[in-house]
């Protein structure tokens, strides 16, 4: 049964990857950048995930979970 679940998960990942406008390597770079930036503001509980859908434009959804906001001062421009 475990092998069947692993195969189903692998098939889902392949289908998701085929529909993604980014290659796996590009997505990994984007995720690393997002995680680095978010870790400056939040104490993340796990990895950052991203979903990119192409229609007339790109719809980008970023998801992360944190257990606290890190203290930081006022940023002046």
Residue 46 has pLDDT above 90, yes or no: yes
Instruction: Give the β-pairing of 42-44 and 58-63.
Output: unpaired
Cα–Cα distances in angstroms (integers) from residue 7 to residues 2, 3, 12, 13, in the given order: 9, 6, 9, 10
What is the band of 72 on the pLDDT scale with cuts at 50, 70, 90?
Answer: confident
Neighbours of 50 (CB within 10 A): 15
Least confident of 16-20, 25-29, 47-51: 16-20
Residue 9 has pLDDT above 70, yes or no: no
In the predicted model, what is the mean pLDDT of residues 34-42?
94
CB 61 within 8 A of CB 75: no
DSSP state of 59: E
């Amino acid at each position: 049964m475990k092998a069947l679940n692993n195969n189903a998960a692998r098939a889902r990942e392949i289908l998701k990857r085929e529909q993604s406008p980014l290659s796996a390597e590009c997505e990994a770079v984007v995720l690393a950048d997002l995680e680095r930036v978010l870790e400056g503001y939040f104490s993340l509980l796990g990895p950052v995930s991203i979903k990119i859908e192409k229609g007339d434009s790109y719809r980008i959804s970023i998801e992360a979970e944190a257990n606290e906001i890190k203290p930081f001062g006022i940023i002046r421009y």
